[in-house]
Amino acid sequence: MVAIPNELIELLSEANHVAVLTGAGISAESGVPTFREAQTGLWSRYDPEQLATPEAFANNPRLVWEWYDWRRQLVSSVEPNTAHYALAEMAARVPKFTLITQNVDGLHQRAGSDGVIELHGNIVRTKCFDCGRIAYNVQELQETSGQVPPRCEYCAGLLRPDVVWFGETLPADALNRAYDASRNCDLFFSIGTSGLVYPAASLPAQALSQNIPTVEVNPQSTPLSGAMTFILAGPAGELLPQLVALAWPHSSQETE
């Protein structure tokens, strides 16, 4: 069992602004495979890093579209887990809370988190590869045209998921807000992320540059681990509910 340091419990219960960065690991316990773990079944022979690129889409739009269709179905068939709910509860306890995610699965929002900063977009939204307009009637366009992927109503470009692919720029507003929160919070968490993909992986360093204590929640060590103030080396779905219950023992009992 992973011991949660008293110092961390105190810092959390007294914090005025907590910033949290999450990655694929927070959704692992919901049954969503992480990026760098072996894919299963039909898609196991494809490397996500080969499919999640503008070049892959340009070469074979149907293949990339169908991979995202499979991921959309997977995500809609699973539920948020105790880690997602613990963060929604933390947000209700801390005066200011900023949740920054690299995940495109929408599970934080389904667990009740508001104002989530989505650094890598969301797979349920679709936009045009050419003109960038959001498409709201994808199902209808697909059914009436029979085209995979369907085409944009405005410019006839191919439709694609509204996510950030490798080699693409992150949404500037989301990234600026993420940097700002990381440098101005008084406790920073990095949860379920391998810390390999930039610029998201640079957010803990922003907090550390301001002498803000940082916490990593991950059963494995990562390139970020060495710099962290606290390491909770275990599954987020177990550790985050424990941490919330320890930081606000009376409130947790009231809600039971």
> 241 CB contacts (<8 Å, ≥6 apart)?
82, 83, 85, 86
From the list 64-72, 108-116, 128-136, 219-227, the region that binds ligand OAD by CB under 6 A is 219-227
List the one residue from 11, 222, 224, 231 that touches ligand OAD (CB under 6 A): 222
* CB 163, min distance to ligand OAD, A: 6
Residue 34 interacts with ligand OAD (CB under 6 A): yes or no:
yes
Residue 15 interacts with ligand OAD (CB under 6 A): yes or no:
no
Cα distance between residue 196 and residue 242, in whole Å: 27
* CB 191, min distance to ligand OAD, A: 6
List the one residue from 74, 148, 197, 227 that touches ligand OAD (CB under 6 A): 197
Binding to ligand OAD (CB under 6 A): which residues in 117-176? 120, 164, 166
Q: Residue 24 region, left (φ>0) first, then alpha (ψ -120 to 50), else beta?
A: alpha
Q: Is 120 a catalytic residue?
A: yes
Cα distance between residue 143 and residue 136, in whole Å: 14
Cβ neighbours, 10 Å, residue 28? 19
The dihedrals phi and psi of 219, each to the nearest 5 degrees, come to -70, -20
Positions that interact with ligand OAD (CB under 6 A): 23-25, 28-29, 34-36, 48, 52, 102, 120, 164, 166, 192-194, 196-197, 217-220, 222, 235-237
User: Hey, which residues are catalytic here?
Assistant: 120
